[in-house]
Structure 1
Amino acid sequence: MAEQFLTTRRDKFKEFLQGVVTWSRKWSFWPIPIGTACCGIEYMAIVASHFDISRWGAEVVRFSPRQADLMVIAGTITRKMGEVVRRVWEQMAEPKWVIAFGSCASTGNGIYQTYSVLDGVDKVIPVDVYVAGCPPRPEAFLEALEYLQNKIENKKEYFKKLEEEKKIIQVEGKTIIVGGEIIKPSIR
């Protein structure tokens, strides 16, 4: 009888701790911005004092991937830049999230299906939230943060590795994402 009591208490305590960890992840994003076009300028407006992004716990902008847990892709991602984005994403600690901010980051926008631009950053890394617009309004980014917070709170088994979602393999010096497209290494 005493063992059941201790086990029950331990399970309740573990459940309580998991709730605390989930709450802290939900309210303390440390974003790393990758701004490659005009959406990067819009992101600067978001982190300024007018929109008060600290209400969503994302005011601490990090420029080191090892300290960040939220990647904000704001702008066009070229094929050469795609490899850099993937490397930065791999250096981020788990759990990590990605927001594709703007039409260029989400789909390639007006430069869709060209030789040099990816048709969305999701060809290289998994994306959690897409924000539409060219450029999107700051309020749309704040709504994306709220959506991501709800996603973190409601999904306990959410955290997966990229290898489980999309297999990455090397064939003849090319990085291939199964289910995605071939990303050629930098051509000089």
Structure 2
Amino acid sequence: MTTATEQDVGYNSKIEGNVIFSTADAVINWVRSNSVWPMPMGLACCAIELMGVGASKFDIARFGMEVMRFSPRQSDCMIVAGTVTYKMAEAVRRIYDQMAEPKWVVAMGACASSGGMYRSYAVLQGVDRILPVDVYISGCPPRPEALIDGMLRLQEKIRTEKSLWQIKAGRDNPEHLPTGPR
């Protein structure tokens, strides 16, 4: 039997025997990071590689992301995979706006990240011009291993996010968190 370490449990956590003391933020962020429901926004070739991640060889289910949602109201992570044209940009933004908070965006591939090899009047030079991108995955198209690595980076980012009340109170340092009743 292995014991959990402070890094496994979460930030600002303490382990004493069989009891784990932690903040609600650490628990909530751990749950969010291990239950990401991605929505594929497959616009070009990268969408084919995105399909490979769900297959048995790569099995993204090991990381808590096996449920691909095709409805923005049921997902919390949009994976933009492929070339975004100006004509499609409005639809991508509208779909993003329909997602519930908190929401994250992954730019998969060179085209979604920077417009790729298409320096054209019709191609958006990076989806970050219309959406706040959390993780960029390079490649043309990126291999399934690169997508898994990008999703693991997203999980790590989610685990270390600050809660809204911490940001509003100016409590970016975990030492200022309340430790119990006064």
- TM class by shorter-chain length? 0.7 to 0.9
Q: How far apart are the structure 1 equivalents of 2:33 and 2:155?
A: 5
Identity %: 55
Unaligned runs of 5+ in 1: 1-14, 159-188
Q: Which residue of 2 aligns with 1:144?
A: 150
- Is 1:131 matched up with 2:122? no
Q: TM-score, normalising length from structure 1?
A: 0.73
Structure with the higher helix share, 1 or 2:
1
Per the alignment, residue 34 of structure 1 pairs with: 41
Residue type of the partner of 2:122? S
1:157 Cα offset (Å):
4.4
Give CA deviations for 1:64-118 in whole Å, capped at 9, x if unaligned: 1000001000000000111001000000000000000000100111102x11110
Name the CA distance, whole Å, in 2 between partners of 1:97 and 1:49: 25
Residues 4-48 of structure 1, C-alpha deviations (whole Å, 9 max, x = no match): xxxxxxxxxxx6332221111010111110111110000000111
Query: Counterpart in 2 of 1:59?
Result: 66
2:162 aligned with 1:156: yes
1:101 corresponds to which of 101, 108, 122: 108
Query: Contact between 2:25 and 2:163, CA under 8 Å: does it hold in 1?
Result: no
Q: CA RMSD in A?
A: 1.5
TM-score for both structures, normalised by structure 2? 0.76
Q: How many pairs are equivalent? A: 144
Q: Is the 8 A contact 2:41 2:78 kept in 1?
A: yes
Query: 2:23 is aligned with what amino acid?
Result: F
1:44 aligns with 2:39: no
